[in-house]
Amino acid sequence: MSQGHKDDWRIQNPFQNVKDEVPNTPVNAQLLVQVFYCSGFDPAFEKVYCIFSLEKQQARSQTINKKEGKDPRAEWSSEGFSFDVTQSRALLTLTIWGKQTEDSVASIGSLCIPIYQLNKDEKIDKEYTLRSAQDYKKKTKAIIKLGIRYL
């Protein structure tokens, strides 16, 4: 593989360099994730849902109708997910999808959170700016608020 291809791959996978430096040690932990809301997305999307993944586990949120207003917003009422964490280099990934019609689905943005950046028993309640699914270096205007607990 040429050097150019390797660099292109690292741009598409922004955590590759970090994962090379962090030892991949076995862990036995739980990650609890709660999604509160997503806002700032294209108002053309009528419905919004999230797909979370960690290692080989995946979960999908309910599809939520957007709330009308100056800033489109989708709110979930206490929807949470639990993941088993077995490796220190695991990544929690989240992609927000929007529907304009039943047959038209597009990515609003994505987010990756390396597990090694979380502290045991820490509770995080935070807004994250989503990145473009097409170019992870670009931020979108959309934000998501998550609650995360690493046990």
pLDDT in tens, 126-146: 999 999 877 767 778 899 999
Q: Which residues contact 131 (CB under 8 A, 6 or more apart)?
A: 109, 110, 111, 137, 138, 139, 140
Band the pLDDT of 18: cuts 50, 70, 90.
low
Residue with tokens 């097409």: 134
Instruction: For residue 34, give both structure tokens.
Output: 């709660």
pLDDT value of residue 17: 54
pTM: 0.81
71-83 burial, b for 16+ CB within 10 Å, e for fewer?
Answer: ebbbbbeeeebeb
Amino acid (one-letter) located at 5: H
Chain centroid, CA 4 distance in Å: 28
- pLDDT reported for residue 35: 95
52 or 1, which is more confident? 52
Q: Which residue has the tokens 């993944």?
A: 53
Given a cut of 80, whether residue 10 has pLDDT beyond it is no
Lowest-pLDDT range, 7-11, 23-27, 37-41, 56-60? 7-11
If one compares 144 and 22, the residue with the highest pLDDT of the two is 144
Instruction: Give 34-92 pLDDT, tens digit per residue.
Output: 999 999 998 999 999 999 999 999 999 999 999 987 788 999 987 899 999 999 889 99
pLDDT at 21 over 90: no
* Amino acid letter, 138: K
**What pLDDT was estimated at residue 3?**
38
Q: What is the mean pLDDT of the chain?
A: 84
Tokens standing for residue 126: 């935070």
